[in-house]
Structure 1
Amino acid sequence: MCLILLSWQQLPDRPLIIAANRDEFYARPTLPAGFWPEHPEILAGRDLEFGGSWLGLSRNGRFAAVTNLREIEHTGELSRGDLVKNFLLSDNTAPEYLSQLETEKRNYRPFNFIGFDGETLGYSNNSDTGWQRLAPGRHAIGNIPLSSSNEKTIKGKQDMDAALYAGVDHLKLFEMLKEEEPSGQHDDAYYRALSSRFVNIVGADYGTRSSSVLQRHADGSWDFWEQLYNTEPADPNFLTVKMLNHFQV
């Protein structure tokens, strides 16, 4: 997952809204969002290489997601997708989980992590010491620490504001996530393409594979939409919408 945009405690009837793109190698085996047979309380996509997830919910209203940290020294071998799975299965509050994670986060591959327990929205990474409660407002989590920003995260927050201005509409948020205009002025064409919100690099084996929009209602219930893209390069409909799934929790 390379960009997660959040609206936190800004709309009374939708206290938490998430719009996110997952960028990954097309060949990496993946299952779309669904309830896991061995853990039916988890609703999430699944990475079949390591068994974890990049984003998901639990039936008791917990939410978690990760992105990787680019250009950060590789510090551990544990899969960051396990952070999402473990948080969704945990009974610990977000502060308890993140505090315990401090002692072992160097054992994981570079990550940004966010976890919501129904009350607290917490953030951690393993390039910095400590964790933080996210304040009300807009937040953008990319492939850099939350304390930093770049053109992609700045523009992401601006465009999410614009998408929500006229009301909460998941289709408008999906449209916003499909922005292919580069946000950075990189000399290298590959890195310029990576600066796009929707990564579509002609001839490459990597790009945006799915988009997710989640809304938490004031009563604690959730709507979770996942839009999947066709990532078979030989298909004439390559990178067009393959499927739109909707779940309610």
Structure 2
Amino acid sequence: MCLILLSWQNDPEHPLIVAANRDEFFQRPTLAANFWPEHPEILAGRDLEFGGSWLGISRLGRFAAVTNLREVVASGDRSRGDLVKDFLLSTQSSSQFAEQLESEKSHYRPFNFVASDGNSFCYINNVEAGWQTLAPGIYAIGNIPRSDENAKTIKGREDMSELMAEHVSPQKLLNLLQDKTPTIVSDDEIHKALSSRFVSFDGYGTRSSSIVIASDDGCWDVWEKQYAINASQQETLQHFNFTTRPNS
């Protein structure tokens, strides 16, 4: 996952809206989003290399997503995808999970991690000390620490803010994610390609787009669009709808 655009408590009818692209090597084995057989409360895609996920939701109204930090040397060898899975299975609040993770985060590969228990939204990475509770607003999480900005995150946040001022629809959010316009001018074709919201490069690129819309009545709508990575595949669009249940 290389770009997460999110609106947190910015719309009275939809406390959480997420539009996110997952960028990955085409050869990496992946399962599309679905409810996990061994954990039917989790709706998420699955990385078949390590067993974790890049973005997921639980029937208890929990949300989590992760990105890598592109130009950071790995300090640990644990998969960052485990953070999504572990939070969705946890009963801890977002802040409790982040506080516990703070003492363990050096054991993971470089990450940005966001998580919501429905009441609060937390952000943490493993290149800076501490963690944050996010105030209501619109955010863009890329492959750099949130304390930094680049053209891709700035443009993403601006476009998400403009869209939120209108009537939000899943198709508009998908259109937002499919923008292939580079945000930098560069002779380096790799950096130029990676600066686009929708990444397309030799053997690497945007594998899927995820849309999450949580309503104030506890109803969640989730869309995932999987993109074809070779001539034998076709694009697919899935839609899931469920209502959260109280944590017993």
**What is residue 222 of structure 1 aligned with on the other side?**
220
Specify the alignment match of 1:18 in structure 2. Answer: 18
Give the structure 1 partner of residue 81 of structure 2: 81
Counterpart residue identity of residue 51, structure 2? G
Residue aligning to 1:165? 165
Bigger drift between 59-68 and 163-172 goes to 163-172
Offset at residue 70 of structure 1 (A)? 1.1
Correspondences of 1:32-71 after superposition (within 5 Å):
32-71=32-71
Question: Which of 240, 243, 249 is 2:236 aligned to?
Answer: 243
The 1-side partners of 2:158 and 2:210 are apart by 18
Map of 2:245 onto structure 1: none
**Percent identity, aligned pairs only?**
59
Query: How many angstroms does 1:159 deviate by?
Result: 1.1
CA distance in 2, matches of 1:48, 1:223: 25
Shift of 1:163: 2.4
Residue segments in structure 2 that go unaligned for 5+ positions in a row: 243-248
Residue 246 of structure 1 aligns with an amino acid whose one-letter code is H
**How many Å apart are 1:168 and its aligned residue?**
1.3
1:31-180 superposed matches below 5 A: 31-180=31-180
Q: Which residue does 2:29 correspond to in 1? A: 29
Q: TM-score, normalised by structure 1?
A: 0.95
Report the Cα distance in structure 2 between the residues aligned to 1:39 and 1:119, rounded to whole angstroms. 23
- C-alpha displacement at 1:15, in angstroms? 1.1
Q: CA deviation at 1:17?
A: 0.4
Residue type of the partner of 1:223? D
Cα distance in 2, alignment partners of residues 86 and 183 from structure 1: 34
Aligned residue type for 1:173: L
Q: CA deviation at 1:61?
A: 0.5
Distance 2:138 2:186 in 1: 26
The alignment partner of 1:109 has SS state of coil
- Matched residue pairs, number? 242
Q: Is the 8 A contact 1:5 1:140 kept in 2?
A: yes
Residue 9 (structure 1) shift: 1.1
Measure the CA separation in 1 of the matches of 2:146 and 2:10: 19
TM-score by length of 2: 0.95
State the superposition RMSD in angstroms: 1.1
Structure 1 portions without partners, runs of 5+? none
2:9 corresponds to: 9
Distance 1:126 1:35 in 2: 29
Q: CA deviation at 1:39?
A: 0.7
SS at match of 2:92: coil
